[in-house]
Structure formats: structure tokens, C-alpha cells
Amino acid sequence: MWRMKTGSGLVLGLSLAFLTVGAAAQEKPSPLDDLTRSAEQWMRDNLDERVVKALDNVDQERARSLLNELAKRLQADNVYDLSALKESATSLLPVLRQFKETRPYASWLETHLDYFDAAGELRRIMQPTPPQRGAPPVPPPTPEAQRKVWDQQMNKRPMPPRAQTYVPRLKPIFTSQGAPAALVWLGEVESSFDPEARSPVGAAGLFQLMPTTARSLGLALSPQDERLNPDKSGRAASKYLRYLYSRFGDWRLALAAYNAGETRVGTLLSRYKTRRYDAIANRLPAETQLYVPKIDATLRKREGLSLASLALPKG
């Protein structure tokens, strides 16, 4: 399926990993008309430099075609289209795991495979019978459908092995920054608690912080990337989450902003004259539409709490 130029075994995985184009957009909030840009311009503006360089050794036409298609699906608001990505994503994992340099990307991708399963299940719920010619489009998933599907996904998901190490260690850090201790489970949703996890758009660490966001929160990227330090990245992520909550006054909106960019969320709230997550949810990127209810389901599974019930630490 995927062709490489001679001697480029390592970069095969990177070229395929473009399905993460919608990930961790904290400091790259895209205007709502981003999809009009070409795939090449998108690459220049958004992709991690290492991924861009890797393209020099990959079938360029194939990679550009893939990128354009995946960018449209992940940045568009149709959740159901993501289900078609499962086969490509699943076949990518063994390739990424082969090389030390690409294992951080494999860790990120493996954590996100259930997005594709969830998209397919949501379609089946919202369209229980085969579509008929001329039938109206499948309606967006309801909050009830999202909850049902993500609870099912979480029931199949074992506890990440590293959670036993990082959850008790990070909870006091989150509390010290004014964020609910339970939000440490964001580390499961973002990276399965792998400190080395990395997305091809440049996010890294347990909490998948983007470079500019990390710097704004006091983390250094050189000579050592402090995003890969669990304690420092936890402190930065919890500080940022507390800021987003203070801005939006709602944890679902705050987490949507963490994933899709606070400017994008703010723009949608202003456009539709609302302060409610449900009023804009179906207009967020497809990835974000799945990300927020996945966090909610994770908290129910791991802590017996919901996002709606989270309270700020006292004191």
C-alpha cells in the first residue's frame, strides 16, 4: 500500500501518521475556513519539522493525497467519516513500533485507535437501518449516544500499566495548580501515560503539549524537552486547564479548547451567542467531538466522577 524510496524504512510510519493532523491544537487555533488551504500549505504551517523532512524520502504524491484526505476528515465536523480510517491506522502501528525513532508516534496512535471504533459505533446508533437513496444525512451524534459508546469503549480498555505510577504522583501537582485531581486521567486519553508519546504535529509528553503552549507555561524545549518530564508537564497541563476553565467556566468547553484551540472555541461561542458546550459540539472538529466525551467516560470509569461533577480544589 505504501511505497518508500530506497533506504527510507524509518519514515514510512511518519508519512502515515498524518492522521493526527487534528491533534493538540492548543496554540494553533485554526480559522473556520482552514480547509480551503492546500495540503502543502497545511504541512508548512502545522507539521512537526521532523515529519516534513521525512517526506523527502516518501512517495510524495501518495503522502500528499493521504494528508489532504485525513486533514479534511479530522478537521471537518463529520464524526462518522473517521470510521473509515481504522484500517489504515491499525496497519500503521506495527511499522511505527519497529523503529526507536517512531515508537513515540506509535504510542500516541495506539492511544487514539478507539476514536475510529467509536465513530463507527456512533453511526450505527444514529442510523440503525441501511441508508436509502435520497434519505437525509445521518444526524450528528447525541450526547446520549456519545456516552453509551464511550462507556462501552472504556469497559474494553484495561488500565494503562503506567497509571499506577503516575496517577498518585500527579494528583497533588494538579491540586497545587488549582485543577481537580481527577483530571490527571487526561494523561490516559492523551498518551496512555507514556511520557515519550509524540504526535506528528509536534505535541509531546503525557499531556501532549504543543511547543508554543509549553513555552508559555514555562517549559523549556532545549537542551532537554521538559514536556517529557512527567512532573513538569503535569504542572504545566494542570495550570493551563485551570486557566481554560477560568476563561470558559465549564470543563467540557475547557477541554474542547485544550484539544481544538481556545480561539476556535471562543469564536464558535461568539458566533452562536452561547456559553454551552452542547450548542457548539457538532461544529467542533471531529476529533474534538470524540475527545471530550472520551474524557468524561474515562473519569466515570477511573474515578466514578463526571466532568459536570468536578469541583475545584479547596483552598
Domain assignment present for 261: yes
CATH code where residue 267 lies? 1.10.530.10
Q: What percent of the chain has pLDDT over 70?
A: 77
**Sign of torsion over alpha carbons 91, 128, 149, 267:** positive
Domain assignment present for 2: no
Domain assignment present for 283: yes
Domain assignment present for 4: no
Q: Which domain holds residue 194?
A: 9-127+139-307
Domain assignment present for 54: yes
> Which of 110, 190, 226, 287 is an active site residue?
190
Domain assignment present for 168: yes
Residue pLDDT, tens place only, 219-274: 999 999 999 999 999 999 999 999 999 999 999 999 999 999 999 999 999 999 99
Q: How many domains does the chain have?
A: 1
Q: What percent of the chain has pLDDT over 90?
A: 60
Q: Which has more pLDDT, 176 or 130?
A: 176
Domain assignment present for 134: no
Given a cut of 90, whether residue 33 has pLDDT beyond it is no
> What mean pLDDT is predicted for residues 291-313?
97
Residue 190 a catalytic site member = yes
pTM of the model: 0.83
Min mean pLDDT across 37-46, 284-293, 301-310 is at: 37-46
Instruction: Specify the pLDDT at position 22.
Output: 42
Given a cut of 60, whether residue 14 has pLDDT beyond it is no
Given a cut of 80, whether residue 307 has pLDDT beyond it is yes
